[in-house]
Structure 1
Amino acid sequence: MATSLQTKYTLNPITNNIPRSHRPSFLRVTSTTNSQPNHEMKLVVEQRLVNPPLSNDPTLQSTWTHRLWVAAGCTTVFVSFSKSIIGAFGSHLWLEPSLAGFAGYILADLGSGVYHWATDNYGDESMPLVGIHIEDSQDHHKCPWTITKRQFANNLHFMARGTTLIVLPLDLAFDDHVVHGFVSMFAFCVLFCQLFHAWAHGTKSKLPPLVVGLQDIGLLVSRIHHMNHHRAPYNNNYCVVSGVWNKVLDESNVFKAMEMVLYIQLGVRPRSWTEPNYE
């Protein structure tokens, strides 16, 4: 008697990816007999979710502390941008701050890649300052789709803290419109990089048309360009602003070289060398 297994959903990835408290409450297993002469038996396994996973997870919801940090970050970036615009109007010089802003945009993508690589591969939740983000990063690799469920301030508050603490002193110390052309664009991209990242996990039908257009022309990282980051060997496509640096960094093996240096000098292995297939 020939036996075949027909699954509506692949069991292993789903039960491994969804946190234990949100895993399916039950599986329904039924067997059917084919009407053909060989009476082939088919085992049909259907996975039913009693509740949508993570629908009310408090770790994905925004708090007032999150909102205040995001508001503070946006304010410091706006002040920096205003100084750049006002200075450009006053001096009638637009080329320099525009080029500085473009440089900020390009380097923010590079910075997002370096930071993403570091938090993906090194450290743990016990590290000061970035420990919570490292933990979130590892959870994201286990359940990549949950980033699309995070509320706005919940997703951005960590980067907003860093942006506020760095940009505020620069707002107070400098009035040069070229400096602020760079600072405002770099800080804006850093502040919102997790939002760009979340959009890269979204589907076109659920994204605003403007976002889809910016992804299509390469100004924001797209789902197509980011999806390889979540596939074995999990060691590429780290940049999440525009993704313009991904090809350069991956083809030149910059991160692989840095990993070898750290391993040889410190004996520390990156997680990507032993990363299990979460998906």
Structure 2
Amino acid sequence: MITHPDSPLSEAPPARVEENHPFYTALLHVSVWLTWPLIALSVWLSATVLGQSGYAWSLPLLFAGGVLASDFTSGLFHWFFDNYGSPQTPVFGQTIELFRVHHDLPEDICNSGLVFTVGHVCLWVVPMIISFIGAWYLAGRGPLVSALLLFATLANLFLVLTNLFHKWAHLPKKPAWMLFMQEYRLVLETHHHNIHHTPPFDTYYCITTGWLNPLLRAIKFFPRMEKFLALIGVQKNQGA
């Protein structure tokens, strides 16, 4: 991502977001520690119903679907935050700032702890998982709604883990188990992700596993999205 001339990031050396937003950072801590028990509860509730109803065979399919949904969603948001809006954009401004700083200081993500690495997603995941469980309960807790709950929960779980996998792709030194996961494309692989960090920085946006990147590039998904948005009056940032 090229820093825009009128962006605050161009006026001074980029600073890490948590240095400037202590209240936001406190929210990250709370959301991260709420995320894990909520996801565990949601998975247990939905998987139990599916197992007891004779649909245990669907669990691997829902798992794979959750990973793919996360990969696609990560790419969609990554593309949008790289090319539209600003740190002053309501609601998404903090996350947009995070992406802009990352493109100025790509290795800085390696210095972030778990809370700052995944917390930006956890802020959204906590209310979503609570609402998913509530909707599941009100809808009767049957096999179909349980499958939907499990799929949505797994997609959100991998969205939470996405920036951790992203961080691993930038680490200069990796343990053997991490290299194994990257080599077999279980998570985002370094050389694969470097394609995105190569000018003009306009492809390979998916950062959970990156599985969907070749397909989305082949069908020109993001350029077509940009043309569609331009048709309805939404223009890319200058220089993006």
Q: Please state which band the TM-score falls in when normalised by the shorter chain.
A: 0.7 to 0.9
Matched, 1:114 2:76: yes
Q: Distance in 2 between matches of 1:133 and 1:21?
A: 15
Give the superposition deviation at 1:172.
2.4
Tell me which protein shows more helix as a share of its residues: 2
Q: Which residue of 1 aligns with 2:163?
A: 194
Q: Specify which of 163, 177, 182 is matched with residue 146 of structure 2.
A: 177
Q: Which residue of 1 aligns with 2:3?
A: none
Structure 1 residues 74 and 21, CA gap change in structure 2 (3 angstroms): closer
Matched, 1:167 2:129: yes
SS in 2 for 1:20: coil
Two-structure CA RMSD over aligned residues (Å): 2.5
Q: Does 104-113 or 85-94 show the bigger shift?
A: 85-94
Give the superposition deviation at 1:151.
1.5
Matched, 1:242 2:209: yes
Do 1:159 and 1:190's aligned partners in 2 also have CA atoms closer than 8 Å? yes
Q: Which residue of 1 aligns with 2:43?
A: 81
Give the superposition deviation at 1:268.
1.0
Q: Which residue of 1 aligns with 2:220?
A: 253
SS in 2 for 1:147: helix
Q: Which residue of 2 aligns with 1:20?
A: 13
Q: Distance in 1 between matches of 2:177 and 2:149?
A: 26
- Say how many residue pairs are matched: 222
Q: Point out which structure has higher relative CO (alpha carbons under 8 A, 6+ apart).
A: 2
Do 1:97 and 1:179's aligned partners in 2 also have CA atoms closer than 8 Å? no
SS in 2 for 1:164: helix
Do 2:86 and 2:96's aligned partners in 1 also have CA atoms closer than 8 Å? yes
Q: Residue type matched to 2:57 in 1?
A: L
Give structure 2 stretches of 5+ with no counterpart.
1-8
Q: Which residue of 2 aligns with 1:10?
A: none
TM-score normalized by the length of structure 1: 0.72
Give the superposition deviation at 1:153.
0.2
Q: Distance in 2 between matches of 1:127 and 1:60?
A: 15
Q: Which residue of 2 aligns with 1:41?
A: none
Give the superposition deviation at 1:59.
5.7
CA deviation string 1:133-189 (max 9, x = no partner): 101111110111111111110121110011111111111221343223212210111
Do 1:108 and 1:190's aligned partners in 2 also have CA atoms closer than 8 Å? yes
Q: Distance in 2 between matches of 1:110 and 1:63?
A: 27
CA deviation string 1:56-112 (max 9, x = no partner): x83699954322110112222111111133223323421123312211111110111
Give structure 1 stretches of 5+ with no counterpart.
1-15, 23-53
Q: Distance in 1 between matches of 2:174 and 2:163?
A: 15
Do 2:14 and 2:101's aligned partners in 1 also have CA atoms closer than 8 Å? no
- Larger CA Rg, structure 1 vs 2: 1
Q: Does 126-135 or 238-247 show the bigger shift?
A: 126-135
How do 1:1-279 residues align onto structure 2 when only pairs under 5 Å count? 20=13, 58=19, 63-174=25-136, 175=141, 176-203=145-172, 206-266=173-233, 268-270=235-237, 274-275=239-240
Tell me which protein shows more strand as a share of its residues: 1
CA deviation string 1:242-269 (max 9, x = no partner): 1011001112111111112222331613
Matched-pair identity in %: 23
TM-score normalized by the length of structure 2: 0.83
